[in-house]
Amino acid sequence: MGRGLRGRPGQSVGREDRSGVPMLPRSGPRRPRPAVGLAPTRGRRRRERPPCHTKGVRDAMRVMMTGGTGFAGSHTVRRYIEAGHEVRLLVRDREKVRRIFDPQGIDIPEEDVIEGDIVDLATVERAMEGCDAVYHGAALVDMRRKMASRVLETNARGVSNVIGHAVKRGLPRIVYVSSASVFFAPGSGPIHLDMEIQPGTTAYARSKAQAEQVVRTLQGTGAPIRVSYPTGIVGPDDPGLSDANEAVYIFFAQTGVTTSSGFQIVDVRDLAEVHLRLLEQEGGMARALAAGPMLDWASTYRILDEITGTRLWRFPMPGAPLRLLGSLGDLLKRYVYDFQFPLTRDAMEYATQWPGASGDEAAREFDVTFRSARETYTDTVRWLHEAGHLKARLVGKLASAD
């Protein structure tokens, strides 16, 4: 599910496979880059890199990236560099780049860190100069009603500036991060890529739906845009506490709720691998569901109990009262206090009515194996403890495994 208890988690382009999933025509980078496996250069990892296994890849690329200091983005930066590519980051905070990547031994030269905003087209153009590909993962997320217009404007201009300018420049590799939640409607069947885009109710959800429409329109003109649709992104090494990781934190530090539906995650490391395949693959899927295990809430808590040897406190509540509580939260935001916590009807519908999605097609296409929930949660909870978010008594035997 898009964000668990914390909120939200088309046209064919080129050829099409038998399942109806859009496929892109085969094309290579506009100009050669240093081959994978050469000695480290700018924006390369200092220690030995694991090999790149994507079929049909000939040359490394320089990739302009937005959202590179976020959770999914920072893991994607790491994976791109491990595969031999160079990155240029468009960020709002230059120092955050150092805080995230220096401890990992990843050296990104100063000239490849551009400080600015995705709403500034001139900055986007400068960041994109000399690049072979683009990855766009940046978006403004703010649950307050007073920020709604800014969220809509920022995310719309970001897609127009970054994706639109990449298409205008004729870049052959463009990766955009969407969300599986753009297909969700209460009462719908399992999520699949042929479903209609849903308009959303929160400003952020509406902005993702609008961005998706822009991307689909550009894809319809033949633009080589590849899109990932992740479910709830969970995993270690989170620069902040993103929504799904914060949900895991809340399960331990506060409480959980056993209700209808469940919590569908994708390991952030597997998502980064999908992003590598979307960048490198010549042809293939234009859109990919990055969906890991779908577990009901009881099974989710049972795994967390087992990996820690503790017992999480949770209580049962049917879905209908939670959705009613979400509606009350919407009213409170409107008339009483404009809080940031995503207690919304939208969030409660995702928590109680998420129908599940399958990542099997992307796994087959890209030769990626999505991690089990047990492996992902083990690594995530251990990291939450090591990073100081969870006390040793809360994570049980995972603390003693340090």
Distance in Å from the first CA to the final CA of the chain: 30
What's the pLDDT score for residue 333? 85
What's the pLDDT score for residue 397? 96
Is 172 part of any domain? yes
What's the pLDDT score for residue 2? 39
| CATH code of the domain covering residue 92 | 3.40.50.720
Is 81 part of any domain? yes
Q: Tell me how far apart the alpha carbons of residues 124 and 254 are, in angstroms, rounded to a whole number.
A: 41
Please, what is the angle between helix 243-253 and helix 297-308, to 10°? Answer: 70
What's the pLDDT score for residue 9? 52
Domain encompassing residue 159 = 9-231+267-292+356-371
What's the pLDDT score for residue 93? 95
Is 25 part of any domain? yes
Is 164 part of any domain? yes
What's the pLDDT score for residue 341? 75
Is 262 part of any domain? no
Q: Tell me how far apart the alpha carbons of residues 239 and 67 are, in angstroms, rounded to a whole number.
A: 12
What's the pLDDT score for residue 398? 97
What's the pLDDT score for residue 402? 56
Q: Could you read off the pLDDT of 114-168 as tens digits, one per residue?
A: 999 999 999 999 999 999 999 999 999 988 889 999 999 999 999 999 999 999 9
25: how many CB neighbours lie within 10 A of its CB?
14
Q: Could you read off the pLDDT of 75-107 as tens digits, one per residue?
A: 999 999 999 999 999 999 999 999 999 999 999
CB under 8 A, 24+ apart: contacts of 163-169:
163/134, 163/136, 163/214, 163/215, 163/218, 163/225, 164/214, 164/218, 165/121, 165/124, 165/125, 165/128, 166/64, 166/128, 166/134, 166/136, 167/218, 167/221, 167/223, 167/225, 169/128
Is 152 part of any domain? yes
Is 382 part of any domain? no
What's the pLDDT score for residue 401? 59
What's the pLDDT score for residue 67? 98
| Mean pLDDT estimate for the chain | 87
- The residue ranges of the chain whose pLDDT is under 50 are 1-8, 10-42, 44-57
- Please tell me the pTM assigned to this model: 0.86
Is 309 part of any domain? no
Domain total of the chain: 1
Closest to 393 in 3D by CA, of 252, 219, 251, 216 = 252
